[in-house]
Amino acid sequence: MKAINIHFFSPTENQQPTAKAEKAAKPAKLLLTGYISSVGKLVLPAKTVAHLGVDLSKTGFKVGMDEGKRKAKSLYLVPSSSDAETFTFEKAAKSYTLALPFILTKSGVDFAKTKYDFTIRLFEFEGTTAFALQLAPEAAAVKVPYTGKPRGRKPRQASDAE
């Protein structure tokens, strides 16, 4: 007779496994976004404004871009207390808007033909928290040709019996 290898269980294997200590969930890193409308307004949705921590209706901003660049790849909004040379956001239905059509056109942003989205990055500028808007043209969705059943009337067949 062959020798049989047997695995014997211990009493601890017959107990319910203890729950492991759960890790504290990290807060999800929010991606603050907005877009440029077809008339040249920077649009910040209400969800984005809620996470910025700034009252846009009462704060004036200086608007700038990288010096020495012809085409704007990013815009900078720096809060300013003085009223001279500042821009203010206007409250829209579900967002805040800042009209900059001429500045955007001079900076090489063709908002009329291409929709631009931007992501907002917070940075420190001269002791205040400022916003850097990283511009990116929205990729146009490629339209897939229709391959389903043809709709409508069938094309008229040329008859051979004439």
Instruction: Output the DSSP codes for 44-85.
Output: EEHHHHHHH-S-TTT-EEEEEE-TT-SS-SEEEEEEESSSTT
pLDDT at 6 (0 to 100): 60
Q: Does residue 51 lie within any of the structural domains?
A: yes
How many residues make up the chain in this entry?
162
Q: Give tens-digit pLDDT for 44-90.
A: 888 888 877 777 777 888 888 878 777 878 888 888 877 777 888 88
pTM: 0.63
Averaged pLDDT for residues 5-20: 66
Specify the higher pLDDT residue, 11 or 156: 156
Instruction: Spell out the residues 6+ positions from residue 141 whose beta carbon is closer than 8 angstroms to its own.
Output: none
Averaged pLDDT for residues 84-113: 82
Is the confidence at residue 24, as pLDDT, over 80?
no
Q: Does residue 5 lie within any of the structural domains?
A: no
Q: Does residue 21 lie within any of the structural domains?
A: no
Sheet holding 116-125, edge to edge: 87-88, 60-65, 74-80, 128-137, 116-125, 33-36, 41-45, 95-99, 90-91
Is the confidence at residue 17, as pLDDT, over 80?
no
Taking the C-alpha atoms of residue 41 and residue 114, their distance in angstroms, rounded to an integer, is 13
pLDDT at 7 (0 to 100): 61
Residue 58 to residues 65, 80, 83, Cα–Cα distance (Å): 23, 11, 11
Q: Does residue 155 lie within any of the structural domains?
A: no
Cβ contact 42:98 at 8 Å = yes
Q: Does residue 153 lie within any of the structural domains?
A: no
Average pLDDT of the chain to the nearest whole number = 77
pLDDT at 9 (0 to 100): 62
- Domain range for residue 89? 33-137
Domain count, the chain: 1
Taking the C-alpha atoms of residue 107 and residue 87, their distance in angstroms, rounded to an integer, is 17
Worst-scoring range by mean pLDDT, 10-14, 37-41, 43-47, 128-132?
A: 10-14
* Per-residue buried b or exposed e for 71-100, using 16+ beta carbons within 10 Å of the residue's own CB: ebebbbbbbbeeeeeebebeeeeebbbbeb
Q: Does residue 2 lie within any of the structural domains?
A: no
Is the confidence at residue 160, as pLDDT, over 50?
yes
Q: Does residue 112 lie within any of the structural domains?
A: yes
Cα three-residue angle 135-139-144, rounded to 5 degrees: 170
Structure confidence at residue 26 as a pLDDT band (50, 70, 90): very low
Q: Does residue 42 lie within any of the structural domains?
A: yes
pLDDT at 23 (0 to 100): 56
